[in-house]
Amino acid sequence: MNYLSKICRTTQPYMAGEQPQDKKYVKLNTNENPYPPCNGVAEYIKNFDSARLKLYPDSDNKALAAKIAKKHGLSIENVFIGNGSDEVLAMCFPTFFDKDGDGVAYCDITYSFYKVWAKAYEIPSVIIPLADDFKFDVSEFKQSKCQGMIICNPNAPTGLIVNRLDLISIIEANPEKLIIIDEAYADFCNCSMANYVSKYPNLLIVRTFSKSYSLAGARCGYAIGDETLIRGLKTMKNAFNSYTVNSLTEGIAIKALEDVKYFSSVVDNVIATRDEYADELRKLGFDVLPSSANFLFATHETKPASEIYYQLKEKGVLVRHFNLPRIDNWLRITVGSPDEMKVLLDRLRAIVNA
């Protein structure tokens, strides 16, 4: 007897980057931030009254929602908070897309979770290929037949961006479609479209504390958009699990938002290291796409990416290699601390010069 549903039996889950325990690696494979969260977070955890855990958290996380609203010049009715932006994005599928609708459009090379969610919720996918140089096809998105679309900007794993005017032209050309922008990496390029949420009722921005705020382990992400969109997300959330964000995490995220100075310095450091090591990789014979994120996407002129991946792993450095069409000769390398990047460069030099 097979007790699993048909959908479960046929679902291909998302494959996250490995988190191996066999030895200590220089870990540059899942786009985590190399710097710790701000001191305010450490203080908050130290002083957290564990008795608070006997109570449920506020199901709308209003204290955090107020902070997020303030940051973006919105009100709390424009904010939806979830257990990581993965949960927020997952919730978008049943909230905004129909099984028998025109489907959700996204790029062929982008965050691979979109396809997993579309399948899990049985929503049709409209796949729009990137150009040969991985550039985004604005006109295809403008005219595609779909119920809505998800644009990852900057895109993962390429690190390339769609410029603001192109995004606006897509949003304005499609007032009847929902445009979701996944801004997991937008803090690393100052290219957020958050300011346009109050202007366009068909724009939903999804953001996370995992990357630029160094809080991947705390699990917190959010969406901002028109009240009606947010109300829809809350309806679906409350049909699934009312308490997705725990009270400790809520307080942690508030503290992280308060220390604007530390946040900027972390982001600036990551950007400086990124740009420095993009050049170093180019000197070793890599073609490196101009990155607007906290990772580099690179291919070597002679050495196959899979070989570099395995040899780096043997030498204690983990990067991400996707065994997928069009990008199987590329590596995605998270920008680590300068010390980690020195180790990476040293190991890469030995591999490509061998």
Ligand X SMILES: *Cc1c(COP(=O)(O)O)cnc(C)c1O
Q: β-strand 221-225 against 79-82: which pairing, if any?
A: antiparallel
Please state the closest distance from residue 83 (CB atom) to ligand X, in A: 8
Please state the closest distance from residue 303 (CB atom) to ligand X, in A: 26
Q: In what order do the strands lie in the sheet with 79-82?
A: 79-82, 221-225, 203-208, 178-182, 148-152, 104-107, 125-128
| Residue 181 parent element (H or E) | strand 178-182
Q: Rounded to whole angstroms, what are the CA distances from 266 to 84, 219, 263?
A: 20, 19, 5
Number of neighbouring beta carbons within 10 Å of residue 241: 11
Residue numbers at the binding site for ligand X (CB under 6 A): 31, 84-86, 111, 152, 156, 182, 184, 208, 210, 216, 221
- Residue number, 271 or 348, with CB nearest to ligand X: 271
Q: How far apart are CA 327 and CA 309, in angstroms?
A: 13
Number of neighbouring beta carbons within 10 Å of residue 51: 7
Burial 174-194 (b: 16+ CB within 10 A, else e): beebbbbbbbbbbbbbebbbb
Please state the closest distance from residue 208 (CB atom) to ligand X, in A: 3
- Residue number, 31 or 61, with CB nearest to ligand X: 31
Please state the closest distance from residue 265 (CB atom) to ligand X, in A: 21
- Residue number, 85 or 174, with CB nearest to ligand X: 85
Q: Which of 206, 229, 247, 172 is nearest to 89 (CA)?
A: 206
Please state the closest distance from residue 120 (CB atom) to ligand X, in A: 16
Residue nearest to ligand X (CB): 84
- Residue number, 156 or 179, with CB nearest to ligand X: 156
Please state the closest distance from residue 285 (CB atom) to ligand X, in A: 27
Structure tokens at 245: 């964000």
- Evaluate whether 298 touches 285 at the Cβ level (below 8 Å): no
Please state the closest distance from residue 84 (CB atom) to ligand X, in A: 3
Structure tokens at 7: 């959908």
- Evaluate whether 153 touches 167 at the Cβ level (below 8 Å): yes
- Residue number, 31 or 95, with CB nearest to ligand X: 31
Please state the closest distance from residue 88 (CB atom) to ligand X, in A: 8
Q: β-strand 203-208 against 221-225: which pairing, if any?
A: antiparallel
- Residue number, 84 or 94, with CB nearest to ligand X: 84
CA dihedral 153, 158, 161, 162 (to 10 degrees): -80
- Residue number, 44 or 222, with CB nearest to ligand X: 222
- Residue number, 86 or 250, with CB nearest to ligand X: 86
